[in-house]
Structure 1
Amino acid sequence: MAPGPQRRRLDPAVFNLPVGRLREGWFSDAYFTTTKDLLEAEGHHPRVLMQVFQKQRSLLGGIDEALAILKLGSGRQDADGTWRPGWDELEVHALFEGDEIAPHEAVLTIEGDYALFAHLETVYLGCLARRSLVMRNVRDVVAAAQGKPILFFPARHDHWLVQTGDGWAAHIAGAIGVSTDAQASWWGGRGIGTVPHALIAAYGGDTVAAARAFAGRYAREMNVTVLVDWENHSPRTAVAVADALGDQLWGVRLDTSESLVDESLRDLGDDAPRGVNVELARRVRAALDEAGHGHVKIVASGGFTVDKIRHFEEAGAPVDSYGVGSSLVRGANDFTADIVRVDGRPCAKVGRGERPNPRLQRVT
């Protein structure tokens, strides 16, 4: 299959890379920096073909970030300390952000003097692994939700430094919103959120008072969504908030702890399900409709995974959107880089030979 037309890639400046640290190998496994030092000290400059792949059916994330690392970080330092960039001496081919990828399919090839980019392998493989993991996980929950919006809410479950790229990966994979400005920064968006438990606490545990204050300030800027589990009677609180806010209220968010049974389900006795569940969503929907608030949306959050979303959808739960957190940053999607050709001749360890991929496009 012939490659298609060239698509747009993110500008390297977007990533705000610590270029000096990358060039000196600060973030690299030591054996790669010593390899670069040895090759340069020995004056040994083999022209290699490096091939990068992974072993799952997935989506490719982090490729533009990896390319930026190569563009800005490759090169060598002259005797006088001047850095001589190496990108123009490399021939690089790559797939694009969000491309479907098969197990063992080459997603990136780098050809050129190995000493120019040996020190960068740790960093570009890490970008691909992290972003592809997030992208694949988000794609799976988007598919499970069958068109209902997915809100990307894992920021509090991981280190803040991963937010920018993770948010971009989620965006490409189909998430409709992210929770921090950092996560939305690469496409110029903004973080979105709900009235949080902390704000309700700041208003003495009065959800309605907190919601009124929030809507009064932000209703013209965002869809006002309010958590309604503070008193553990989500239908009653949802109606009280909707009565108070009227058209200013876009939605309510169910977030009951997995250790609790909502008071509205006590009539089910010992069989009452805990946490956010299908029956709770039905009762909140019914209460809102009976009170004349059919316009109010329901967002479900709290421990949602692909399987839990599928269960809700198969049961026909009246949920309009899902907020998904830690499950989107769990798992692994590791990448491997292998030299498969040296000075024009095949040279690869057993089982890692060259796999030409006509889908790759030259990166200029």
Structure 2
Amino acid sequence: MTASDPQNSPQAALRRALGTLGPLDEKTIEARTDAYFGRTRHIVEHFGDSRVTYAVFIRRPVIAACGLVVQWLKNVAKAQGFALDCREMYAEGEWVGAGEPLLYLTGSFIRLAPLETLVLQRIGSTCVAAHNAYQMAMALPTIPFLAMDARHCAGFEMQEQMAYAAGVGSRAAQKEGARGFIGNANDATAGFFGLDAGLGTMPHALIGYAGSTLRAAEMYDEVYPHDPLTVLVDYFGQEITDALAVCRRFPERAAKGHLSVRLDTHGGRFLEGLDPQTSYGVLERHTPGTIRRYRSDQELRDLVGTGVSAAAIWRMREALDHAGFHHVKIVASSGFNVAKCSTMRDAHAPIDVIGSGSFIPDRWSETYATADIVAYDGQPRVKLGREFLLQKARDSQETS
């Protein structure tokens, strides 16, 4: 470990995750791959191996986030004892156009054929999620994000891929001046954000247990007196009332900026005191003209609708400032995807932190990656319509 690569760096976290990435044994891989790849392997074993080159690509623009799959392949090659040449066409975090090859994989057909299914599982969704995280960060470049996606993932393998993707997309945005994703909600993948542990204070369940929002804040403060305190304020539908009660109970925390209120109002109701008419009024007071520029029904809902709208966030800021709590921060969550982040930017919503898992791809069909063999024993050959992959392969060889 070098001084520039500390134990909690994203690079070290990637190595830790990849050190045990599996499955590596052949029987498990064959059981999880598509049957025709397994049969292809047995046919090639019968008639004689070939050294092949695969091109791996996605049909939509993405951010390159191939580190997990590349190291997984290297782990498999090492465990099974075969040579693998893996050419990454783009650096991690680099923008990739639709259909551009991400990887060229060269090696034994017998060994690579069973891996295609598992390779594609590990690359498409990760690169799309990285692209979404990048777009969200760039839409609101001054606001830090927290990755709160784990509960929406189908098991830990997906959780790991999504956290890794958010880290890659975020660092791409940070190179352009954005704050990006500064952490996530669990310990296991915190290293992808350079942290030792996940971030977060309380779920709604703690407030239900405590019986009141204020009592939940008091309980948290008693057990974690030295940590910053973020309090959910929507449980009883009294966001403003409960937020102000917590601020008055903890004036020192409020004055020092160590207290935040988190808005997570669900889409079935308005924030306390708001309705359509008053929501319009809030935006007119703080960001005149914004409401006249909306372009879609979804944008209108994000501006003045139910749930965590721009009007709701402005109303909370208005109430806190009016009561003298200028340093209390607002954490916003609930449905913050690329489109909602863009709307919040247009409304100049006074958000201090966003918690979001909505960088996970909305449409799984857009994550489908594809792999085609483009050469057999050094002879270029690809199915009709994919000849562009051959040219990309030649270009990469000439520049390498």
SS at match of 1:51: strand
Q: Indicate the residue corresponding to 2:206 in structure 1.
A: 199
Distance 1:99 1:360 in 2: 20
Q: Indicate the residue corresponding to 2:300 in structure 1.
A: none
Q: Indicate the residue corresponding to 1:41 in structure 2.
A: 46
Say if 2:162 and 2:360, in contact at 8 Å, map to a contact too.
no
Say if 2:29 and 2:115, in contact at 8 Å, map to a contact too.
no
Q: Indicate the residue corresponding to 2:107 in structure 1.
A: 112
SS at match of 1:112: strand
Distance 1:96 1:288, change over 3 A: same
Distance 1:247 1:108, change over 3 A: farther
Shift in Å at residue 129 of structure 1? 0.8
SS at match of 2:348: coil
Q: Indicate the residue corresponding to 2:147 in structure 1.
A: 152
SS at match of 2:74: helix
SS at match of 1:133: helix
SS at match of 2:199: coil
Distance 1:224 1:22 in 2: 49
Say if 1:208 and 1:240, in contact at 8 Å, map to a contact too.
yes
Distance 1:140 1:68 in 2: 26
Say if 1:235 and 1:287, in contact at 8 Å, map to a contact too.
yes
SS at match of 1:265: coil
Distance 1:170 1:362 in 2: 30
Q: Indicate the residue corresponding to 1:80 in structure 2.
A: none
Shift in Å at residue 90 of structure 1? 2.6
Q: Indicate the residue corresponding to 2:235 in structure 1.
A: 230
Distance 1:14 1:252 in 2: 39
Shift in Å at residue 185 of structure 1? 4.4
SS at match of 1:123: helix
Distance 1:290 1:280 in 2: 15
Q: Indicate the residue corresponding to 2:190 in structure 1.
A: 184
Q: Quick check: 187-196 or 295-304, which moved more?
A: 187-196
Q: After superposition, give the CA deviation of every residue in 1:68-90 in whole Å (9 maximum; x if it has no partner).
A: 23222248xxxxxxx7511xx23
Q: CA RMSD in A?
A: 2.7
Distance 1:247 1:196, change over 3 A: farther
Out of 238, 255, 273, which is 1:264 matched to?
273
Say if 2:237 and 2:272, in contact at 8 Å, map to a contact too.
yes
Shift in Å at residue 350 of structure 1? 0.5
Distance 1:104 1:158 in 2: 26
Summarize the alignment of residues 68-79 of structure 1 with structure 2, pairs less than 5 Å apart.
Answer: 68-74=71-77
Q: Indicate the residue corresponding to 1:172 in structure 2.
A: 168
- One-letter code of the match for 1:123? L
Summarize the alignment of residues 16-31 of structure 1 with structure 2, pairs less than 5 Å apart.
Answer: 16-20=21-25, 24-31=29-36
Give % identity.
31
- One-letter code of the match for 2:86? V
Distance 1:362 1:29 in 2: 35
Say if 2:53 and 2:374, in contact at 8 Å, map to a contact too.
yes
Summarize the alignment of residues 336-351 of structure 1 with structure 2, pairs less than 5 Å apart.
Answer: 336-351=370-385
SS at match of 1:142: helix
Shift in Å at residue 100 of structure 1? 1.3
Distance 1:269 1:146, change over 3 A: closer
Shift in Å at residue 198 of structure 1? 0.4
Distance 1:359 1:310, change over 3 A: farther
Say if 1:106 and 1:356, in contact at 8 Å, map to a contact too.
yes
> Unaligned regions of 5+ residues in structure 2, if any?
1-10, 171-180, 281-303
Say if 2:124 and 2:368, in contact at 8 Å, map to a contact too.
yes
Runs of 4+ in 1 over 6 A off after TM superposition: 269-272, 359-363
Q: After superposition, give the CA deviation of every residue in 1:189-229 in whole Å (9 maximum; x if it has no partner).
A: 3211132210000011x1111011112322424x3211111
Shift in Å at residue 341 of structure 1? 1.1
Q: Indicate the residue corresponding to 2:307 in structure 1.
A: 275
Out of 323, 342, 363, which is 1:291 matched to?
323
Q: After superposition, give the CA deviation of every residue in 1:66-113 in whole Å (9 maximum; x if it has no partner).
A: 2223222248xxxxxxx7511xx2322113322211122221111222
Out of 225, 230, 245, which is 1:240 matched to?
245
Distance 2:331 2:146 in 1: 9
Distance 1:144 1:219, change over 3 A: farther
Q: After superposition, give the CA deviation of every residue in 1:112-168 in whole Å (9 maximum; x if it has no partner).
A: 221121111111111101211211111111111132112212222222321122111
Q: Indicate the residue corresponding to 1:64 in structure 2.
A: 67
Distance 1:267 1:37, change over 3 A: closer
Q: Quick check: 33-42 or 267-276, which moved more?
A: 267-276
Q: Indicate the residue corresponding to 1:134 in structure 2.
A: 129
Shift in Å at residue 362 of structure 1? 11
1:355 and 2:351 matched: no
> Unaligned regions of 5+ residues in structure 1, if any?
1-7, 76-82
Say if 1:73 and 1:117, in contact at 8 Å, map to a contact too.
no
Distance 2:260 2:42 in 1: 58
- Paired positions, count: 343
Q: Quick check: 264-273 or 284-293, which moved more?
A: 264-273
SS at match of 1:125: helix
- One-letter code of the match for 2:200? G
Distance 1:56 1:314, change over 3 A: same
